[in-house]
Amino acid sequence: SDKQPSTPSHELLEEVEKAGGMYICGFCPYQSRHKFVVRKHLRRHTGERPFVCEVCSASFTWKENLKAHMKIHTDERPYVCHVCSKMFKHRHHLVRHMSTH
């Protein structure tokens, strides 16, 4: 049976074991040469969401998700259709739109 974390991830550092030059997750077979990568991976098991929106307090596991979320609080639309100049907040919305041309 799979191990289930019962403590916050800052207390799970002992769950990152080193074997043969690799750091290994204590909950699954995941491994990396870099300890920080395995510590970051541990969030998958702990549910830790350290990245918090200062506007609405939504929290995220990954920094990239917080960055994408922040666009809902601004009018920033960096993705522009080269055919009709329509602007989008997210790249995948532009890609979907391009199929209409």
pLDDT at 9 over 50: no
- Residue-wise pLDDT tens digits, 45-69: 999 999 999 999 999 999 999 998 9
- Work out the average pLDDT over 65-78: 91
- Work out the average pLDDT over 9-34: 77
Q: How confident is the model at residue 85 (pLDDT cuts 50, 70, 90)?
A: very high
Domains of the chain (ranges, CATH numbers): 9-72 (3.30.160.60)
DSSP state of 82: T
CB-based contacts of 16-19 (< 8 A; 24+ apart in sequence): 16/42
- Diameter of the chain by CA atoms? 56
State phi, psi for 56 to the nearest 5 degrees.
Answer: -125, 0
